[in-house]
Amino acid sequence: MRRHKFDRQAVEDLNAQVDYLTSKDAFGAAERLQARVLQFVERLCDHPAMGRFLEHRGLWELWIPNTRLVLWYRYNDEHLEVVRVWHTSRDRERAPDDRSPGLNET
């Protein structure tokens, strides 16, 4: 069974979304969003090639249903690593090229 993990930047991205909702006194929405993301990633571990592969980044991209969030991730037989969590209002094309050592590189 494949396990998931979140890269430091992905944790910061998700926390920023939760913090934004919390700052608007949307505590329930913040909790639901975080739970939805975690549940989605857990299910994604079973079928990781569901998104589209971004050849130039070496990452997969997938929208999380019923949210405005997009994941960038990579995977191998043992792990699924979430690299970024993007809000759809952000310009993903301007993001740094994340070719940092990942699951298949040491």
Q: What are phi and psi of 24, to 5 degrees?
A: -95, 15
In a domain, 97, yes or no: no
In a domain, 104, yes or no: no
Could you give the number of structural domains in the chain? 1
In a domain, 105, yes or no: no
Half-sphere exposure of residue 54, counting CA atoms within 13 Å on the CB side? 19
Reported as a pLDDT band with limits 50, 70 and 90, residue 1 is confident
Sheet holding 59-63, edge to edge: 3-6, 79-87, 69-75, 59-63, 52-54
Is the model's pTM score more than 0.85?
A: no
Q: What percent of the chain has pLDDT over 70?
A: 84
Domain CATH for 7? 3.30.2310.20
